[in-house]
Structures are given as structure tokens and as C-alpha cells.
Amino acid sequence: MAHEPGFAKGLSIGIIMDGNGRWAKKRGLPRTAGHTRGAEVFRDIIRYCNELEVACVTFYAFSTENWSRPMEEVNGIMKLFGEYLIMAYDYQKENNRVVFLGDRTALPAKYQAQMNDIEEKTRGNTGTVLNVAVNYGGRQEIVRGMQILARRVQQGLLRPEDIDIETVSGVMYTAGQKDPDFILRPSGEHRLSNFMLWQASYAEFVDMDVLWPDFTRADLDRAIEEYNTRSRRFGGI
């Protein structure tokens, strides 16, 4: 599909990948089948974001609350994540910078080592920044940031009165990155679900009535087109 120049170039997009379980249930399949199909869509949309020259895309892959799901489902998601980590080295060739958001200490040591290695190997890349939020929660991210700042104050490195928006942004997982221009949620739901609460303060919200495993490049086009019709005033007139 042809687009006008600059159709999506430079955008920062957050995506809540939702609806895998419902997709599988509708087809009489185990929930893990929905996650497998969702992972395929995830990989294709990453490639498409590269083609569109999107500046940054953040995928909500696994939340801190998702641990409460049935163990079979959690194990299936973690297995898919392990497979993704092996394939993620390909993003080095595509000039992506890969960043993992969230508390990785709850993940297997092997995964943590791979995540650290992938981040280091792609650190200097200048293409689309690919953020993958795993064991991530927006409130937890803010609490972690406050703890970092409190320690700096305690150590005499920072005065409380010097803490401002930029200081707080600097201790988020996304430090130095552009805040999302819009948050996309497929599946027909209309909530953030603890995703990027600090960063999304002025993000547009685009919801779509399509389950993530059915999501296509054309759906992303429609979401970007919807965003491009919005008037962003950031509290002004």
C-alpha cells in the first residue's frame, strides 16, 4: 500500500497486544495457540514498523499481573519468549535497537543473560527502537523510579527541590526515548491496563475491534491514519 511521505516516520507507538486467548477460544483451541499466532503477528508488525520508519514501537508482551494466569498458559508464553530471544539477534542486521522494559529478575537466568546481550549488541543501532515490555507494570515502573531518586537524595546526589518531570523521566525504563504519540489497543477493550502510565500522559488512545492474532499491516495503517486525524494540543487551545 502506498503512503504519503512521512506517513509514520518518526512516530512512537505503544501497542497492547490483546485478544490472544479469546481468538483461541473462538476456534476451540487452547489459549497457547492464540499466543503462538500472536507472536507471529508481533514479528510481522515489527518488520512493518521498520519499513514505515517508525521511531519507536513498544509492545506490551507480559504484565506483572499475567503471572496469575493458569500455569500452562504462563509456561507457554515464557517458551515463546525464549524462542523470540533467539530470533531477536536478527534485529541487529535490521539496525533495530532492542530494549526490554520491566523487572527481568523474575525471569530465568538464561533469559536475563540473553536480554542483556541483545541490548548490548543493538545499543548503537539507529533504526526503529523496539521496546518489549516483559514482567512490566506502569505503577511498578514509577515506584522503581521513585526508589532510585530517593537513594540519590539519601546519598546527597540530588536535592528534593530539583526533582522535576525530566528527572523522573530519566529514571523510567524508557529514559532518553520519545514518549508514545499514541497507544494502540486491539480487541475492543478500552483501558491502559497498567501500561506506560508515566509516558502516556499526552498520548492519543486508538482502540480497534480486532483481536491481536487477526491484526494486519492494514490495521496498523488504519490506526496511524486515525492518529493523523487527531489534533494534539497538550493542554493548550
Q: Does 217 appear as a known binding residue? A: no
Catalogue all structural domains in the chain, each as residue range(s) with its CATH number: 12-228 (3.40.1180.10)
Structure-block grid coordinates of residue 141: 515502573
In this structure, what DSSP letter does residue 42 have?
Answer: H
The answer to the question of whether 192 is labelled as a binding residue is yes
Q: Is 18 considered catalytic here?
A: yes
191 is in an annotated binding site: yes
Is 35 marked as binding a ligand? Answer: yes
* 21 among annotated binding-site residues: yes
Name the catalytic one among 66, 125, 194, 228: 66
- Write down the pLDDT at residue 92: 73
Active-site residue identified among 18, 131, 135, 181: 18
Give residue 44's pLDDT: 94
Residue owning grid cell 537466568: 109
The backbone region for 187, taken as left when phi is positive above 0, alpha when psi lies in -120 to 50, beta otherwise, is left
pLDDT for residue 50: 93
pTM for the model stands at 0.92
- 127 class by beta-carbon count within 10 Å (0-12 exposed, 13-18 middle, 19+ buried): middle
Is 179 noted as a catalytic residue in this protein? no
Residue 5 is predicted with a pLDDT of: 60
Q: What is the pLDDT along the chain (237 residues), one digit of tens a residue?
A: 567 767 899 999 999 999 998 999 999 999 999 999 999 999 999 999 999 999 999 999 999 998 998 898 898 889 888 888 888 877 777 899 999 999 999 999 999 999 999 999 999 999 999 999 999 999 999 999 999 999 999 999 999 999 999 999 999 999 999 999 999 999 888 989 999 999 999 999 999 999 999 999 999 999 999 999 987 666 665
65 is in an annotated binding site: yes
Distances (CA, A) of 54 to 46, 96, 118, 202: 10, 11, 20, 19
Instruction: At 216, list the grid cell.
Output: 494486519
